[in-house]
Amino acid sequence: MEIAILGGTGDVGEGLALRFAADTSHEVLIGSRDAEKAETAAGAYTAELDDRGLDGEVAGLENAAAAERADVVVLAVPPYHVGDTVEAVAESLDRGDILVSPATGMKRDEDGFHYHRPGAGSVTRIAAGAAPEAVAVVGAFHNLAAGRLSDLDVDLGIDTLVIGDDEDAKATVAGLAEEIEGLRALDAGGLANAAEIEALTPLLINVGSNNDGLGDLGVRFR
Amino acid sequence: MEIAILGGTGDVGEGLALRFAADTSHEVLIGSRDAEKAETAAGAYTAELDDRGLDGEVAGLENAAAAERADVVVLAVPPYHVGDTVEAVAESLDRGDILVSPATGMKRDEDGFHYHRPGAGSVTRIAAGAAPEAVAVVGAFHNLAAGRLSDLDVDLGIDTLVIGDDEDAKATVAGLAEEIEGLRALDAGGLANAAEIEALTPLLINVGSNNDGLGDLGVRFR
């Protein structure tokens, strides 16, 4: 399978790219609005994998070109770019392709981070609203700390919640997530359940910043 | 210390009462609007402790009488009764007493449970808004499944998040929480961070209902 990570030059994109490349046999395509930035990032990730004796394949492309080649397209962009990004790649998606939304809206004040719920109900809903009809949207990878994800020395040992209204697409994404070592995918129902998942991300940051020794937090349901 | 659990005849109240009575040396007072109901519940909890060879003390009282005697008062009532309950016991609270808010607002639709954020910003904020000035409000015990809490055969092995604007009160409640075996208390900052914690409760229910073998879910931050 080919996995495109749009916004793959950012923190979460880097982490997902490295983990997919290191732990699975899928081809990983870094997408960026700037093809050269994508190529540079892909080169850096490939070099890191090489350094570790891993031979994962990472290529860099402009977003639409990455989406064109991929079966699964992860929207690892800031929440306010999710809608634009889906629209920019919509014509490059084929029937049966899957869009994956990991972004969450947050604002910060003196007390910490807070969930900034968009008018659409969730960032995942924004992605779904902008997606072509023949393309399923699945929410996943929301609550993964970028620093932990991109440090391949760290064992994950955490869960990711997967939501979607298309059961086949949801199962495909859950399967991909579970191919990442130490990551367990749990089904959290339909897209309507996105907001509570997105709200967990600022909570993880608040818990991390208020407790010594607990940085880059993830969560295990048990 | 004396711990009152108002609404202690309900599911979460039962779980907290049994755990505090079984695992700590504090006196547990069940509060209810109906003193007789409180006494009946307290009798049942004491009988369950006796059956297990545990000698925890549980007494039953009308809410205000329970609050009068207690140092820490847990508002284990439905979210729409939190404000009323605080007002009903306000005159029974002494300077330095601590109110603890574990409630969360939820609504259910065909997709699952959703956080129903009150106009005040959170249920914990409703408690804080109704509390006398000399009484600190701490949020805790939001994300504990009642069935798991009240089954003393089950090892908890999960976390509870504690929030508050009064650091001493927060530390007292965190200390009490950690006296419950298998429960770890983590600091999640000030009361302004309550909504994301309350929103985790419906998420836990959704994850539990969508994955075989994962009922009565809690969470471990790691």
What tokens appear for B149 in the block? 């809490």
Predicted pLDDT at A57: 79
**Whose CA is closest to A184, among A141, A216, A151, A136?**
A141
pLDDT, tens digit, 9 for 90 and up, residues A170-183: 999 999 999 999 99
Predicted pLDDT at A82: 98
From chain A, pick out residues whose CB is under 8 angstroms from the CB of B203: 161, 188, 193, 196-197, 200
Tell whether the torsion through CA atoms of A170, A175, A180 and A185 is positive or negative: positive
Is residue A37 assigned to a domain?
yes
Contact B220/A222, CB-based, under 8 Å?
yes
Question: How many beta-carbon pairs below 8 A join chains A and B?
Answer: 118
CATH number of domain containing A206: 3.40.50.720
- Is the CB of A154 inside 8 Å of chain B's CB atoms? no
Is residue A217 assigned to a domain?
no
From chain A, pick out residues whose CB is under 8 angstroms from the CB of B211: 186-187
* Closest residue in B to A217 (Cα–Cα): B222
Amino acid (1-letter code) at residue B54: L
Is residue A101 assigned to a domain?
yes
% helix, strand, coil for chain A, step of 5: 45, 25, 35
Q: Tell me the ipTM for this assembly.
A: 0.95
pLDDT, tens digit, 9 for 90 and up, residues B29-66: 999 999 999 999 999 999 999 999 998 879 999 999 99
Predicted pLDDT at B55: 86
Predicted pLDDT at B96: 96
* Closest residue in B to A197 (Cα–Cα): B203
Is residue B222 assigned to a domain?
no
Q: pTM for this structure?
A: 0.96
Predicted pLDDT at A55: 86
Out of A158, A161, A206, name the one closest to residue B207 (CB). A161
The whole-number average pLDDT for the span A40-64 is 95
Out of A111, A188, A219, name the one closest to residue B190 (CB). A111
* Closest residue in A to B188 (Cα–Cα): A207
Is residue A220 assigned to a domain?
no
Number of H helices, E strands in chain B: 8, 11
Amino acid (1-letter code) at residue B185: A
CA distance A118 to chain B (A): 14
Is residue B219 assigned to a domain?
no
Residue A55, Cβ density class (10 Å: 0-12 exposed, 13-18 middle, ≥19 buried): exposed
Question: What range defines the domain where residue A154 resides?
Answer: 2-210
CA distance A135 to chain B (A): 21
Number of domains forming the structure of chain A: 1
CA distance A33 to chain B (A): 33
Share of chain A above pLDDT 90, in %: 98
Out of B186, B190, B207, name the one closest to residue A188 (CB). B207
Is residue A54 assigned to a domain?
yes
